[in-house]
Structure 1
Amino acid sequence: MNAIITVVGNDKVGIIAKVSAFLAERSINIEDISQTILSGNFVMMMMVKLAEENSNLETIKAELVELGKALNVSISLMHEGVFSAMHRI
Structure 2
Amino acid sequence: MKTVITIVGQDRVGIIAMISNILAENNVNILNINQNILNGFFNMVMIVDMGQSIISLKDLGHLLGEKGAAMGLDIKVQHEDIFKIMHRV
- Shorter-chain TM range is over 0.9
Query: Is the contact between residue 28 and residue 52 of structure 2 (CA under 8 Å) also seen in structure 1?
Result: no
Moved over 4 A (4+): none
What TM-score do you get using the length of structure 2 for normalisation? 0.92
Matching residue of 1:46: 46
In structure 1, runs of 5+ residues without a counterpart are none
Aligned to 1:74: 74
Matched residue, 2:85: 85
**1:36 and 1:77 mapped to 2: Cα distance?**
19
How many residues end up aligned between the 2 structures? 89
CA RMSD of aligned residues (A): 1.3
Q: Corresponding residue for 2:60?
A: 60
Write 1 or 2 for the structure with the bigger share of helix: 1
TM-score, normalised with respect to structure 1: 0.92
- The runs of 5 or more residues in structure 2 that have no matched partner are none
